[in-house]
Structure 1
């Protein structure tokens, strides 16, 4: 039996234009491109840290 990995849905709700370069890179690292795009990501400490870094640009669904 395979264990089910917890996932998070993350949506880009604000444009990264005009933000710090490393914040734009973090948004791209999460796999978010266009406004309102949604990605389902594994719930790991690294992903949670990335979400916390750009929490003013994304929404967790």
Structure 2
């Protein structure tokens, strides 16, 4: 599987709880924080829910 780097670029203030939980499940929580994860279907769903809050790069 491919690895991706996910960086949070926007705040979760005034966002629905489901989006806040998706950011938390990705291991993020502060702007400019990055994580490297294996890309799979569960990760794809979480990224899709918060695509406007994160930047995704393939490594």
TM-score (norm 2): 0.91
Question: What's the Cα RMSD here?
Answer: 0.8
Q: Which runs of 5+ in 2 are unaligned?
A: none
Which structure would you say has the larger RCO, counting Cα contacts within 8 Å and 6 or more residues apart? 2
| TM value normalised by structure 1 | 0.88
From the two aligned structures, give the one with the greater strand fraction: 2
- Structure 1 stretches of at least 4 aligned residues deviating more than 6 Å after TM superposition: none
Larger radius of gyration: 1
Task: Count residues in correspondence.
Answer: 57
Which runs of 5 or more residues in structure 1 are unaligned? none
